[in-house]
Amino acid sequence: MKKINKLTKIGLIILILGCSPLLLIMLCAKLGILDDPNPNPVIFGIMAFLTFWPSLILIFIGIIKQLLLKIKSSNPKP
């Protein structure tokens, strides 16, 4: 198994922790677990909004760093 860059790991963790509560509330409302079929989870929406773009930026930077490291290691200088 290949190693994932630290920034990519942090970005994935932030994405999961930031967006999963909102997605869980939406899923529970869709399945009928909640009494209100149209809940208004403002705090979870704000949390998802504030964590989504930074996490994507960290994931993108981590992928770019990993690709640059792979290119650098595959083309050693003589």
Tell me the per-residue pLDDT of 32-60, one tens digit each, with 9 for 90 and over. Answer: 898 888 888 899 999 999 999 999 999 99
Q: What is the mean pLDDT of the chain?
A: 91
Dist. CA 27–CA 3, nearest whole Å: 32
Average pLDDT rounded to a whole number, residues 18-27 = 94
* Whether pLDDT at 1 is above 70: no
Q: Nearest to residue 25, comparing CAs of 47, 56, 10?
A: 47
Q: What percent of the chain has pLDDT over 90?
A: 65
Dist. CA 70–CA 33, nearest whole Å: 47
Q: What is the value of pTM for the model shown? A: 0.83
Are 5 and 37 a contacting pair, CB within 8 Å?
no
* Whether pLDDT at 23 is above 90: yes
Alpha-carbon separation of residue 44 from 27, 31, 53 (angstroms): 13, 18, 15
